[in-house]
Structure 1
Amino acid sequence: MLEPTAGTSGSRVDPRVLRTRALLRTAALELASERDADTITMADIAERATVNRATVYQHYKDRDELLLAAMESEITALARAAARCPLAYPPDRMPAELVELFRHVESNTRLYRQMLGPNGTARFVNHLRDLLANEVTTQMDAAGARSDGAPPNDLRAHYVAGAFVGLITRWLTRPDLLSAEAVAAAAWEGLRRAS
């Protein structure tokens, strides 16, 4: 998890520090779901969290670090959904887990739209892609290395993860939001062709 260590003594974190960080992350998520990430300032977050602006800087070095920490639970949930879905070697029929992965994003459309849209943060996009790529690499490694001269698993995994992030981004920024099922079907077809 991406949590700064400010305010820690040994391995125990002061409960006040944890409460303050929770307030800041909640404020950042609320603001990120309301408007473009690049328009959010540390002062906005401090005001929403009802803390002094200097307090924000004691816990996070900049807005992007705070937004990424705030989105960590969302990213982790998406990575968990990807872990349940066969992304490396898709089966003959579209797995229900793939639909669930897109339903997770759909249930948080506004937040993902803001974070992946043109005014989102590169750190968020990179972190999301890396987590998905790590999950795909894990699945490929568990299935055994390919011997047909295919590129290394990590390159293939980043290809799939990049495609997923691109697909999710396009889906959420289309004027007509397709259903999670429709997008899952498109992703599944792409996965089958890529594997």
Structure 2
Amino acid sequence: MTDDDPRVRRTRARLRAAVLELSAERDPDSITVAEIAQRADVNRATVYIHYRDRDDLVLDAMEAAVGELAAEAARCPYREAGPVPASLVALFEHVGARAPLYRRMLGPYGSARFCARLREALVVELRGPFAAGSRPPGHDDVPPEIHAHYLAGALIGVVTCWLEEHPPRPAGEIAAMTWGLIR
């Protein structure tokens, strides 16, 4: 079997969908490989043919979402003053639309591997614009790598705090607060 095999792609898609559905329903740490297999309508051994373990599957399932979030963060015009960028609002809307899953993955019993992957994706996406000079005014002396790590950590912190609010503020409101902190 290769990654190009349509059966492999189909099976992995079903496994990713199953783990995302289950993760939205309850704590990912309580989900077993057997439950994932049952939801995906495959046998348990099939899960291990495609993934090392449950966390590996969760990370793969969340990869597209992580990429979307990181891309929105990189689209923000950090160098420009002005109103809250639509891309920052879109970042929070993205998280809000998947709040149960992000809440579980970033919460106290979430996945350290997911948090590290999210931070890594944010740093990679932010490093490019920052190296090209798209940093807030007055921060040109901060190396792009440090600035990217700083903002990645700050965004994860704000997202985590926002997800703990009951009910969470509207995406536009938390985006405006975050923009004020970034600026």
Q: Do these two structures clear the TM 0.5 threshold for a shared fold by scoring above it?
A: yes
Q: Aligned partners of 2:59 and 2:9: how far apart in 1?
A: 16
1:4 is matched with none
Of residues 33, 39, 52 in structure 1, which corresponds to 2:24? 33
* Number of matched pairs: 182
How high is the sequence identity, in percent, across the aligned residues? Answer: 49
Runs of 5+ consecutive residues of structure 2 not aligned to the other structure: none
- Pairwise CA RMSD of aligned residues? 2.0
Shift of 1:152: 2.0
1:42 is matched with 33
Q: What amino acid does structure 1 have at the position aligned with 2:99?
A: T
2:9 is matched with 18
Runs of 5+ consecutive residues of structure 1 not aligned to the other structure: 1-6
CA contact (8 A) 2:130 2:147 kept: no
CA contact (8 A) 1:90 1:191 kept: no
CA offsets per residue over residues 34-77 of structure 1, 9 Å max, x none?
11111111111111111111110000001111000001111111
Shift of 1:25: 0.4
Shift of 1:138: 0.8
Of residues 102, 108, 114 in structure 1, which corresponds to 2:98? 108
Q: What amino acid does structure 1 have at the position aligned with 2:40?
A: A
Q: What amino acid does structure 1 have at the position aligned with 2:141?
A: A
Of residues 100, 114, 123 in structure 2, which corresponds to 1:133? 123
SS at match of 2:167: coil
User: Could you say if the C-alpha distance between residues 98 and 13 of structure 1 is closer, same or farther in structure 2, counting changes exceeding 3 Å?
Assistant: same
SS at match of 1:33: helix
Shift of 1:98: 1.3
Q: Aligned partners of 1:149 and 1:173: how far apart in 2?
A: 34
User: Could you say if the C-alpha distance between residues 147 and 175 of structure 1 is closer, same or farther in structure 2, counting changes exceeding 3 Å?
Assistant: closer
SS at match of 1:51: coil
Q: Aligned partners of 2:168 and 2:142: how far apart in 1?
A: 35
CA offsets per residue over residues 74-128 of structure 1, 9 Å max, x none?
1111122223212x43523322221121111111212211211122211111111
Shift of 1:149: 7.5
CA contact (8 A) 1:68 1:124 kept: yes
Q: Aligned partners of 1:189 and 1:90: how far apart in 2?
A: 13
Q: What amino acid does structure 2 have at the position aligned with 1:117?
A: G
1:52 is matched with 43
SS at match of 1:13: coil
After superposition, residues 1-195 of structure 1 pair within 5 angstroms as: 7-8=1-2, 13-86=4-77, 88-143=78-133, 150-192=141-183
Q: Aligned partners of 2:85 and 2:36: how far apart in 1?
A: 40
